[in-house]
Structure 1
Amino acid sequence: MYFDHGAYYFVPKEGKKTHLGRNYGEAITKYVALVQPVIGRQRLSAVMDDYVKEKIPTKKPRTRDDYLDAIRRLRPIFGEMWPEDVEPKHIYQYLRLRGAPVRANREIAVLSNVMQQAIEMGLVNINPCRQVRRNRESPRVREVLDPEVVAFILHCPEWLKAYIELKMLTGLRQGDMLRLGLFNIRDDGLFVETGKRGKRLLFQWTPALRCAVDTCRGLRRKPSESRLFPITASGLKSAWARAMNKYEGDGFAENDLRAKVASEAIDLGLDATSMLGHSSDAVTRRHYIRGTRKVSPLK
């Protein structure tokens, strides 16, 4: 509040100044009425900062990286908005214009977490993200055939060949594969506690699994190295891309091999849901069963 030419004025950082009158007491009353609603307000960028500081460290490493990337994309769009000004229409616009429907869904899920953070901070009472229907997602249908895997492996370095062979036997997620170490190898099998759901899996020894694990152990660069695949997720991604560039067939993703394992497990009469560490058959069948089902015609 400023006194100028015999009158009091409220001069905000943004917007026009407001005449409060010549009487000091009346000016103070008007000033409090104008300022009180904005005391304690924080822009969404500040809420994002608090979320990164308080909540992100509790996430798994892969999830942490994904959330930080989402916030990096959300900040230029929503960062300067007041939390109470974010409406469903803004979120729908983001979903339409993002250009990557699935990624947009993931990013709005993170924005929903940030809005929940704003609720916990007492800045808003409603999370507008919960009123929004996300982009429709179609399950991936790419079915990788055995000849394709054989042809692709020819272009892979030895460690990536061993990685693929072990993944084809276990169907483990990429994060769980990269965390495998000597401590997972037990007398009764290959023990894994999955990172996403915390499922405890014991892959009992078979000649093929024993051979694959021994191969991975033999390829370690340093005998003191405890991990079977001492490489980061980004390093694996780069190696996969280099090999795929040399491969002349239709491309497929690393995660498509997990779906291939699930489909083959079903064909063999095995429990694919337990093998993949899922909580329900519905998740397995919707996202991972892609193989062609073999059926008998009517007689």
Structure 2
Amino acid sequence: MVRVDLKGIAKVKAKGHTYWYAWRGGPRLRGEPGSPEFIGSYNEAVEQRRTPDRARFRFVVADYKKREFKKLSPSTREEWGKWLDRILDHFGDLRIAQFDRPEKIRPLIRRWRDKWAKTPRTADYGLQVLSRVLAHAVDPLGKISGNPCEGIKHLYSNDRSEIIWTDADVAQIKKTCSIEISHAVDLAGHTGLRLSDLLRLSWSHVDDDAIVLTTGKSRHRREAIIPLYGALRDVLACIPKRSTTILTSSKRRPWTADGFGSSFNKAKIDAKMSGLDLHFNDLRGTAATKFYIAGFTMREIAETLAWEEESVEKIIRRYVGRSAAMKDRIRKLESRK
């Protein structure tokens, strides 16, 4: 075996253990640093990198990194890089053909995923990364006919309809985020529109009395009709008209979904909110509470947000509170008198 200088070795510490990799994102090395086993595994890794065995799953991971990995946002690359290392360690030496036999490979995938079963979201995250690599094996590589991860149920499930951003949460992210992200947060919290609809919302959708927009989730068969109440008018008045779309990036261009996602995740990190289980679309729940306090009925809120009335009721009970709800009922009774 040809002796190779040990250059570019990556050192990673995790849970009190130290791991060594041939290079950042490369295979993990065996043995103790300086030992014959360590040097031998490094040389093997370098040789494999030069002439990868195209029949092994290691080749699929390497090709994915070469073609697709660099297209991800920096924060996503940082997280996915760890999972690609784990996938490479566990599945790298398997023949690619084994992944074309779902009935055989799925039990192996489930057992690997279940290493993190005590933290279901982590387990599902790992499965997501593996599924993306396997999708790369299907197309463009054409190495397998189908993705064996498809059909494997996620461990984590959660009805997010009861989760909302509070006023304090909104204030916290707006302290450090860009003005463009701030506009998006305000508009979502006052309209209840999904992110995909918000990013394509244009000034032409704003009429004299309402925002009227067909929703993407309904395949544009249903309309969201959001009354232009005072607070929403104020939000729109603060957004400069830079494009046909209402929301734009700092480059004064319409947002792409990936571009917005990367910028919003960075905003959460900068605001020290990355550990909170808050998604951008949870601002829809915030809007639901605003609509209720403004006097909307449960049915009107459900129709505006395209939700079930039961989901709206859960939000109102949990977040508006008995006191606010009672005051609103008193106001309605007195207005009738």
Q: From 206, 212, 229, give the equivalent of 2:248.
A: 229
Matched, 1:169 2:198: no
Matched, 1:208 2:234: no
Q: Which residue of 1 aligns with 2:40?
A: none
Supply the distance in 2 between the matched residues of 1:116 and 1:238 (Cα, whole angstroms).
Answer: 27
Matched, 1:95 2:113: yes
Q: What is the letter of the counterpart of residue 95 of structure 1? A: R
RMSD: 5.3
Work out whether residues 164 and 278 of structure 2, in 8 Å CA contact, stay in contact via their aligned partners in 1. no
Q: What is the letter of the counterpart of residue 152 of structure 1? A: Q
Supply the distance in 1 between the matched residues of 2:266 and 2:132 (Cα, whole angstroms).
Answer: 31
Shifted more, 193-202 versus 255-264: the winner is: 193-202
> Deviation string for 1:50-107 (max 9, x for gaps)?
999xxx9xxxx99xx989x869945635455334424223212332235863254255
What displacement does 1:170 show? 1.2
Matched, 1:257 2:276: no
Matched, 1:292 2:317: yes
% identical equivalent positions: 23
Instruction: Tell me the secondary structure at the aligned position of residue 155 of structure 1.
Output: helix
- Classify 1:142/1:79 alpha carbon distance in 2 versus 1 (closer, same or farther; 3 Å): same
Supply the distance in 2 between the matched residues of 1:82 and 1:157 (Cα, whole angstroms).
Answer: 46
Work out whether residues 239 and 246 of structure 2, in 8 Å CA contact, stay in contact via their aligned partners in 1. no
What displacement does 1:155 show? 2.6
Q: What is the letter of the counterpart of residue 108 of structure 1? A: L
- Classify 1:203/1:46 alpha carbon distance in 2 versus 1 (closer, same or farther; 3 Å): farther
> Deviation string for 1:96-149 (max 9, x for gaps)?
235863254255357557768878999667864456443143445655444x25
Supply the distance in 1 between the matched residues of 2:239 and 2:214 (Cα, whole angstroms).
Answer: 19
Q: From 154, 157, 166, give the equivalent of 1:134.
A: 154
Q: What is the letter of the counterpart of residue 259 of structure 1? A: G
Q: Which residue of 1 aligns with 2:33?
A: none
Q: What is the letter of the counterpart of residue 90 of structure 1? A: L
**Superposed, which structure 2 residues align to 1:1-299 within 5 Å?**
43-44=56-57, 73-74=83-84, 76=88, 77-78=90-91, 81-86=94-99, 87-97=105-115, 101-105=120-124, 108=127, 111=130, 128-129=148-149, 132-139=152-159, 142-146=163-167, 148-149=168-169, 151-152=171-172, 155=175, 159=179, 160-187=181-208, 189-194=210-215, 198-199=219-220, 200-217=223-240, 223=242, 226-231=245-250, 232-244=260-272, 253-255=278-280, 256-262=282-288, 268-277=297-306, 281=308, 285=311, 289-293=314-318
- Classify 1:184/1:45 alpha carbon distance in 2 versus 1 (closer, same or farther; 3 Å): farther
Question: Any stretches of 5+ residues in structure 1 without a counterpart?
Answer: 1-40
> Deviation string for 1:191-219 (max 9, x for gaps)?
445556644534343333222212213xx
Question: Which of the pair has more CA radius of gyration?
Answer: 1
Work out whether residues 44 and 81 of structure 1, in 8 Å CA contact, stay in contact via their aligned partners in 2. yes
Work out whether residues 71 and 107 of structure 1, in 8 Å CA contact, stay in contact via their aligned partners in 2. no
- Classify 1:261/1:130 alpha carbon distance in 2 versus 1 (closer, same or farther; 3 Å): same
> Deviation string for 1:205-260 (max 9, x for gaps)?
3333222212213xx6xx56854332533223333443457xxxx95635332233
Supply the distance in 2 between the matched residues of 1:271 and 1:243 (Cα, whole angstroms).
Answer: 34
Work out whether residues 178 and 233 of structure 1, in 8 Å CA contact, stay in contact via their aligned partners in 2. no
What displacement does 1:171 show? 1.7
Question: Any stretches of 5+ residues in structure 2 without a counterpart?
Answer: 1-53, 100-104, 251-259, 327-337
